């Protein structure tokens, strides 16, 4: 499962949702969906804008963690 650690990077950069949404050019609602790990997909264009605004790399925001549900089903 891919986890979006947007809130961590925002805290490190001391940037709020409203400021980031303005810099990235997306709505607060869509940014909130990303921040709360509710997104099913993210456009590379959006990821590029987020990385530019937060001065970070995609790997600073995106993290792969093994899904515990899949492990249980395979056993």
pLDDT digits (tens, 9 = 90+) for 6-18: 999 999 999 999 9
The C-alpha atoms of residue 5 and residue 12 are separated, in whole angstroms, by: 11
Question: pLDDT averaged over the chain?
Answer: 91
Q: Is the whole model's pTM more than 0.95, yes or no?
A: no
Measured in Å, how far apart are the chain's first and last C-alpha atoms?
18
Domains and CATH numbers, the chain: 2-70 (1.10.260.40)
Coil, strand or helix at 63: strand
Q: Where are the alpha helices (DSSP H) in the chain?
A: 6-12, 17-24, 28-35, 44-54, 58-61, 68-74
- Mean per-residue pLDDT for 13-35? 95
* Structural Rg of the chain based on CA atoms: 14
């Amino acid at each position: 499962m891919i986890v979006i650690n947007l809130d961590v990077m925002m805290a490190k950069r001391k940037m709020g949702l409203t400021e980031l949404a303005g810099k990235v050019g997306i709505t607060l609602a869509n940014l909130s969906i990303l921040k709360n790990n509710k997104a099913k997909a993210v456009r590379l264009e959006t990821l590029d804008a987020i990385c530019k605004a937060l001065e970070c790399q995609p790997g600073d925001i995106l993290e792969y963690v093994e899904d515990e549900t899949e492990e249980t089903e395979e056993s």
